[in-house]
Amino acid sequence: MSRVFNFSAGPAALPEEVLEQARDEMLDYRGTGMSVMEMSHRSRAFIDIAEQAEADLIELLAIPDDYKVLFLQGGATTQFAMVPMNLLDGAARADYVNTGSWSTKAISEAGRFCDVNVVASAESTAFDRVPDFSSWTFSSDAAYLHICSNETIGGVQFHEIPDGFSCPLVADMSSDILSRPVDVGRFGLIYAGAQKNIGPAGLTVVIIRRDLLGRAGPGVPSMLDYAVHAEADSMSNTPPTYAWYLAGLVFRWLKRQGGLAGIAEINRRKAAKLYAAIDASNFYTSPVVAANRSEMNVPFTLPDPDLDKAFLSAAEEAGLTNLKGHRSVGGMRASLYNAVPEAAVDALVACMAEFENDHG
Ligand SMILES: Cc1ncc(COP(=O)(O)O)c(C=O)c1O
Parse the chain into domains and list their residue ranges. 17-256, 258-359
Task: Encode the chain in three state secondary structure.
Answer: CCCCEECCCCCCCCCHHHHHHHHHCCCCHHHCCCCHHHCCCCCHHHHHHHHHHHHHHHHHHCCCCCEEEEEECCHHHHHHHHHHHHHCCCCCEEEEEECCHHHHHHHHHHCCCCEEEEEEECHHHCCCCCCCHHHCCCCCCEEEEEEECEECCCCEECCCCCCCCCCCEEEECCCCCCCCCCCHHHCCEEEEECCCCCCCCCCEEEEEEHHHCCCCCCCCCHHHCHHHHHHCCCCCCCCCHHHHHHHHHHHHHHHHCCHHHHHHHHHHHHHHHHHHHHHHCCCCECCCCHHHECCCEEEEECCCHHHHHHHHHHHHHCCEECCECCCCCCCEEEECCCCCCHHHHHHHHHHHHHHHHHHC
Q: Is 253 a catalytic residue?
A: no
Q: Return the pLDDT at 293.
A: 98
CATH number, domain 17-256 = 3.40.640.10
Query: Closest ligand 1 atom to the C-alpha of 153?
Result: 16
Taking CA atoms only, the protein residue closest to ligand 1 atom 5 is 76
**Ligand 1 mean position to 194 CA, how many Å?**
9
Q: Flag residues of the chain having pLDDT under 50.
A: none
Which residue in the list 95, 128, 176, 196 is annotated as catalytic? 196
**Ligand 1 mean position to 75 CA, how many Å?**
7
Q: Return the pLDDT at 360.
A: 86
Say if 17-256 and 258-359 have the same CATH topology. no
**Ligand 1 mean position to 105 CA, how many Å?**
10
Which residue in the list 56, 68, 95, 102 is annotated as catalytic? 102
Taking CA atoms only, the protein residue closest to ligand 1 atom 16 is 152
**Ligand 1 mean position to 281 CA, how many Å?**
32
Q: Is 102 a catalytic residue?
A: yes
Q: Return the pLDDT at 311.
A: 98
Q: Return the pLDDT at 329.
A: 82
**Ligand 1 mean position to 11 CA, how many Å?**
10
Instruction: Among 80, 99, 146, 152, say which to mutate for ligand 1: greatest number of ligand atoms within 8 Å of CB.
Output: 152
Instruction: Among 107, 148, 175, say which to mutate for ligand 1: greatest number of ligand atoms within 8 Å of CB.
Output: 175
**Ligand 1 mean position to 204 CA, how many Å?**
10
Query: Closest ligand 1 atom to the C-alpha of 194?
Result: 10
**Ligand 1 mean position to 198 CA, how many Å?**
13
Q: Is 211 a catalytic residue?
A: no
Instruction: Among 8, 71, 77, 108, say which to mutate for ligand 1: greatest number of ligand atoms within 8 Å of CB.
Output: 77
Taking CA atoms only, the protein residue closest to ligand 1 atom 10 is 75
Query: Closest ligand 1 atom to the C-alpha of 152?
Result: 16
The architecture CATH gives domain 258-359: Alpha-Beta Complex (3.90)
Residues with CB under 6 A from ligand 1: 10, 75-77, 102, 148, 152, 172, 174-175, 193
Query: Closest ligand 1 atom to the C-alpha of 150?
Result: 1
pTM score over 0.85: yes
Taking CA atoms only, the protein residue closest to ligand 1 atom 15 is 174
Q: Return the pLDDT at 2.
A: 87
